[in-house]
Structure formats: C-alpha cells, structure tokens
C-alpha cells in the first residue's frame, strides 16, 4: 500500500481546494436582503416545542417567510447576505442556488423551516436522481456554489413528529427520490459549505452526491438527529473537515451504496480527505460514528454497478466510538427488498492520528485491500478484553416485538470477509508506545451459527474472516 504518495496526493488536493475556497471567500458580501423586504410574507402557524419537564408545548406563531426575498436578492446580485437578528428567517420551501451563486449568513442568523414543509432548507438548482440506474454521461451539474454561516434547523427539537419535517426532500411536489438533507447539494462541482450550524433536524445535515471538487469545512451539530455530512456516490476529490457536536447518527458518512430511501445516486467514492472530526464528551449523548459503506447495486433490470470506496484519508479524529466499515441491508424497506449484491470493496484507506479518551472500535466486514491505521493514542483505562480493530462478518438481531418471526438480522453474517494489506502501527497508551499493537488490539473472528437462537441472540452465521498479506 503506497501510503506516502497517497498522503502527498491528498495534501495536493487540500491545497487546490483550499485555493478555490480562498478565491470565493474574498468576495465582499452584498448587504442586499433588506432591500427586498417587500417580498416577505407574514403567516400564522403552530410550532411544537419540548419543555424542560419533557412535555410538549404548542406555540402559536405569527412569523415572516423569507423565501421570496432571498430568491429576489440572489436573482439580482448572485449573492445574498443574511444578517443576524433576534427572530429566525422562516422558510416554507427550499432556497434554490444556481451556478455561481452564494448564500452568506452571519453565524447567529437562524434559518428555520416552517412546520409541515418537509423539505430541505437550501439546495442547488438541478438536483437529479438516478437510483434506478447508473448516472448517465452528459448530465449538466451546477457549479461554483457557496454556502457559509447560519444556524439551520428543521425544528425537530425532540418532539414527536418533528413538527412535520421528517424528510429533507428537494421539493414539496415531486421531490427527487432519496433526497434527505438540511443542506442538499446533488449533481454539483466546485461547491463549498463553511461554518454552518445544523440544529435539531431530522434529515442529514449536509447531503452531497454526484459531487466533485467539494469542500465542507466547519459543521457544528447541535442536538442533531441524523448524519452530519453524508455523501452519496459517485463522488470524488473532496475535503470534509472540522465536524463536531452532538449527532444521533454518523457525523460523517460516505455511502457509495446505501438504502434506496436515502440515496439519490450510486457509484464509487474516491479521493476524499476527512479530518478534524470530534465526538461529543463522554457525558453527552451521541452516536459518534464514521461510516464507509461500499456495495454492489443491483438494479431492477438485473444489471449491477460496483460502488467501491477507495483512496480515502481520515486523520486527526477524536473520540469516535465506531468506524463502520461494513455491509448493512435495508432495515426499513426489508433486507429481501434492498440489499447489496455482495460485500462492497474498500481500497487504500488511511486512518491517521486517532485520539480516544474512551473506548472506540474499527469494525471491518467488507472486502478490503489496503488499510493502514497509524498514530493511535489511547487515553483511558483499557478493559482487559479491549480490541481496537475487529475483522470478520457481523451478526446482530433487531427485535421487532416479542415474536421471533418478526426479528431481523442487521448484517450479512453468512458472507466471508477478506482483508489484505492491513497494518496497525504506532499505537500508544497515555503517550507510551505499544510494541505489539496488532497482536494485542486486533481481533479476527469467524461467525458461527447460534444453535440456541432465538432463545439467545444473535442468530450468527457461516461467514469466515481472512487476513492476507
């Protein structure tokens, strides 16, 4: 595995994309929104809020809807600046950004989705979906879009029903299948998302896909209820950095293959740098996982598409509980209705400078060729059985009620897992080097059928684990 040239390649990519960001950031924000106040509409609606005692309080609101004013400013100037103010800027449809346009918000300016809208808050103009076939040649992307600043919320705030904003769809009517973002950028090139806060939302914070030459730099997750930055294939040449805060799902996910209800396009994901990702303190609730999900998509006509993930660098990662490098059939649609046609492939993956102040694990149940984990610092009291890396097919039972006939296997325990060219080096405990890291912290395990299932679970399986040079 050629780690050093790979690292140099990614350093070059970071410089190129950072230069792109710098050019755009030099533009002077246009103080233009107030000029379009006449476009603001005023309406009344109800909002549900969870109080400190856990009860849901219904608030009657008479608020301003800013969609038309923001769109008018973009049409005139190509850039809209959203200043801070005490009240939120409410939206009842997505803001639509065309090629070359920018939305710049002050850090504390809140953009809030009106209850029952059930869409994203902002998207590019030409979102197109191909979850029934590979992305065809000749699809014209949107380019040179910038989103910076703001507090973005779909007003989920922990209440049942999430104020009717369960889905980050591209539009109210005839949305593109699989769209599910607070910020939705799909079918794009040279786009930038910087210094945003995603607060109390159900959709993915930033949903990217069919994307090339992108930068997501600075995403703070505030009581967020889904993935932070979620990337569909085919995508490449991107940087995701400085993601932190409280996510109840994956702060970062690369899904070349994914469940059909959450993916817009399928295809390989490659040449991505993911860095400076921080989980929440151990005292707070958070899933704190990074997911790499390759697969093989089988379309309705029987054709297949390899959805590999390759040439990925993850570095300077702190307090992530799980690195999920495994297959997972669709729990919501049914594994018989939507599953990868075999394990996906990971190639040339580098995990560098991992910091743990609590136990964490790298779970590998995919076909892997080239995985290097280096510079790991463990700063907690290690349990006697602690393993940093677990290699092999996985099995877990999701219990739907008391009847075992309705229980579901979460993984693919009957498929063999083969890992080639794996290395774990430069591991330390409280700063002291560990000489035998692979022998001490790597578990390689076959699956076995549980003959006592369903009295005990999981069911287990017949899949084998192989680690080869």
For 136-192, how does the pLDDT look when each residue is reduced to its tens digit (9 = 90+)?
A: 999 999 999 999 999 999 999 989 999 999 999 999 999 999 999 999 999 999 999
Measured from the Cβ of residue 86, the count of other Cβ atoms closer than 10 Å reads 6
Helix, strand or coil for residue 469?
coil
- Rounded Cα gap, residues 437 and 444, in angstroms: 14
Is there a contact between 203 and 226 (Cβ–Cβ < 8 Å)?
yes
Q: Where are the beta strands (DSSP E) in 121-268?
A: 122-124, 142-148, 151-153, 181-199, 204-224, 229-232, 235-247, 252-255
- The predicted pLDDT at position 248 comes to 86
In the chain the domains, ranked by start, together with CATH numbers, are: 3-50+58-468 (2.160.20)
Pick from 185, 224, 190, 192: nearest CA to 208: 185
Q: Which residues contact 94 (CB under 8 A, 6 or more apart)?
A: 119, 120, 121, 122, 123, 170, 171, 184
What is the rounded CA–CA span in Å between residue 113 and residue 111? 7
**β-pairing, 102-105 with 79-82?**
parallel
The low-confidence residues of the chain, meaning pLDDT below 70, are 1-30, 282-286
Confirm if 184 and 162 have CB atoms less than 8 A apart. Answer: no
């Amino acid at each position: 595995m050629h780690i050093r040239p790979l690292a140099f390649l990614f350093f070059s990519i970071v410089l190129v994309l950072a230069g792109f960001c710098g050019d755009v950031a030099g533009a002077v924000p246009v103080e233009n929104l107030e000029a379009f106040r006449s476009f603001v509409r005023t309406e009344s609606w109800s909002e549900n809020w969870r109080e400190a005692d856990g009860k849901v309080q219904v608030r009657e609101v008479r608020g301003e809807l800013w969609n038309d004013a923001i769109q008018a400013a973009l049409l005139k100037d190509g850039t809209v600046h959203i200043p801070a103010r005490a009240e939120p800027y409410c939206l009842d449809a997505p803001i639509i950004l065309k090629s070359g346009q920018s939305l710049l918000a002050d850090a504390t300016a809140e953009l809030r989705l009106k209850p029952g809208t059930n869409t994203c808050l902002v998207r590019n103009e030409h979102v197109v979906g191909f979850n029934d076939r590979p992305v065809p040649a000749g699809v014209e992307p949107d380019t040179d879009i910038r989103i910076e600043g703001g507090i973005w919320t779909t007003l989920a705030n922990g209440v049942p029903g999430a104020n009717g904003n369960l889905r980050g769809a591209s539009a109210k009517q005839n949305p593109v299948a699989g769209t599910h973002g607070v910020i939705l950028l799909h079918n794009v090139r040279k786009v930038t998302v910087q210094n945003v806060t995603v607060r109390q939302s159900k959709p993915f914070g930033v949903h990217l896909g069919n994307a090339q030459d992108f930068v997501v730099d600075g995403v703070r997750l505030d009581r967020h209820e889904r993935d932070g930055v979620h990337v569909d294939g085919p995508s490449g040449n991107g940087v995701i950095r400085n993601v932190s805060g409280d996510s109840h799902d994956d702060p970062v996910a690369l899904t070349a293959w994914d469940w059909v209800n959450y993916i817009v396009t399928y295809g390989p994901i490659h040449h991505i740098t993911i860095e400076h990702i921080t989980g929440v303190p151990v005292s707070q609730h958070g899933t704190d996982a990074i997911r790499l999900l390759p697969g093989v998509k089988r379309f309705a006509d029987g054709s297949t598409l390899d959805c590999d993930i390759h040439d990925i660098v993850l570095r300077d990662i702190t307090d992530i509980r799980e690195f999920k490098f495994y297959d997972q059939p669709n729990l919501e649609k049914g594994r018989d209705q939507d599953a990868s046609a075999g394990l996906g492939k990971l190639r040339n993956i580098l995990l560098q400078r991992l910091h743990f102040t609590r136990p964490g694990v790298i779970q590998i149940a995919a076909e892997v060729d080239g995985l290097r984990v280096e510079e790991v610092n463990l700063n907690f009291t290690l349990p006697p059985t602690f393993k940093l890396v677990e290699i092999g097919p996985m099995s877990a039972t999701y219990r739907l009620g008391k009847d075992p006939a309705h229980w579901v296997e979460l993984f693919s325990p009957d498929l063999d897992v083969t890992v080639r060219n794996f290395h774990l080096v430069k591991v330390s405990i409280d700063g002291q080097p560990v000489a035998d890291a692979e022998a001490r912290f790597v578990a390689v395990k076959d699956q076995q059928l549980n003959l006592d299932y369903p009295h005990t679970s999981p069911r287990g399986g017949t899949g084998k684990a192989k680690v080869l040079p």
